[in-house]
Amino acid sequence: MSSRRKFLSDCGVLAGGAGFSYLTLGNTYWHEISKTKGKSSGLTLRFKPYDLHLKHVFTIAEGSRTSTPVMLTEIEFDNIIGYGEASMPPYLGESHETATAFLGRIDLAQFASPFLMEDILSYVDKLVPGNYAAKASVDIALHDLVGKLMKQPWYKIWGLNPARTPDISYTIGMDKPEVVRLKVKEAAPYKILKVKLGKGNDKEMIETVRSETDKPICVDINQGWTDRSKALEMAHWLKDMGVVFIEQPMSKDDFDNTAWLTQNSPLPIIADEAFQTMGDFRKVQGVYSGVNIKLMKCGGLRSAYVMIKMARALDMKVMIGCMTETSCAVTAAAQLSPLVDWADLDGNLLIDNDIFKGILIKDGKIVLPDAPGIGISKNNI
């Protein structure tokens, strides 16, 4: 048995599930779900696993890696295809196997029209708990499809001003000083740098970056700090070094000490690992100054849009972030960027096998493509 067939077999895909088949396109397999018992609407979901290659070994407080598994999705209706993506860094608990199992359960052909987005995405959301990246891949593909059918990009459908896109930050992972200096040079087109800290060499990292540039910096601790007094001391030092906010300084479960830090910190404290879905506002309100919303954490654009509105209602800062992703998911998230304070949408720039073209960066700002749907086209690689 080939490794691909073994993979499909392991996932139960070859077991003859209802309406489940797979297509060969080039050297890769797309799993296709297009049939339902009785009448079919012609709404077809396809998906295939893909691995993103990182340009640099990516090191954060939780570990290092050189690739990220993603699932590419397509929803087709009336010969028009919407594209989506699930990015699944290992620490979030999803994988090619879990996404294949989840997506294999979805029957979109039961819906009469792709415009029934609330019905379709509520059905997908309720199918199984969790699986937020896999859910996001369906949500993004459906938004892309519906935008294409309406012949408009989503920022226009939402009534957002493309001139209000924020500066985008470029991520610099932990590394030796010479590599950090190289990465700062690579970040020349960007006006804000996002520096990963939390492994004990924080001051060395910031001083190295500062030896190359005086651009504003935001820092992501990825839960790496454990002592609130030291955290406050660092917050003051970082402010003096030109840092503008601190993301997830302490454990996602340490609400008391984080609330104390937020009350006393001269810099805003943003929740990332502590904040995933709408229900988490109950936990982070009064504990953090703002939230980092990511499509892969919350299940896609439909949730992210509502969560931005909710954060504003609670007078919280909003950042939109990403995982390592192709331009597909990054450009989808960018459609919402006129609504946020900070955009950390550089996941596509960290990989060397992006199969899509989408947002561009001009003068450090996101330029939203004037193209329908989520605004992407396919790269030939």
Closer residue to Mg ion (CB): 272 or 346 = 272
CB 133 within 8 A of CB 60: no
- Backbone φ, ψ for residue 110 (5° rounding): -75, -15
Among 32, 139, 220, 354, binds Mg ion (CB under 5 A): 220
**Which class for 123: exposed (0-12), middle (13-18), buried (19 or more C-beta within 10 A)?**
middle
Going by C-beta distance under 8 Å and a sequence separation of 6 or more, which residues neighbour residue 45? 32, 33, 34, 73, 74, 75, 103, 106, 108, 138, 141
Closest contact distance (angstroms) between CB of 292 and Mg ion is: 6
Is residue 346 close enough to count as binding Mg ion by CB under 5 A?
A: no
Which residues between 257 and 276 bind Mg ion (CB under 5 A)?
Answer: 272
Give me the residue whose beta carbon is nearest to Mg ion. 272
Stretch touching Mg ion by CB under 5 A, among 6-14, 138-146, 162-170, 245-253: 245-253
Task: Spell out the alpha helix ranges (H) of 151-227.
Answer: 154-157, 177-186, 202-210
Closest contact distance (angstroms) between CB of 173 and Mg ion is: 12
Closer residue to Mg ion (CB): 74 or 220 = 220
The residue type of 149 is: L
Stretch touching Mg ion by CB under 5 A, among 62-70, 84-92, 201-209, 244-252: 244-252
Closest contact distance (angstroms) between CB of 102 and Mg ion is: 24
Closer residue to Mg ion (CB): 43 or 298 = 298
- Backbone φ, ψ for residue 288 (5° rounding): -120, 160
CA distance linking residue 109 with residue 234, whole number of Å = 54
CA distance linking residue 124 with residue 106, whole number of Å = 7
# of chain residues touching Mg ion (CB under 5 A): 3
Closer residue to Mg ion (CB): 235 or 355 = 235
Closer residue to Mg ion (CB): 139 or 220 = 220
- What is the binding site for Mg ion (CB under 5 A)? 220, 247, 272
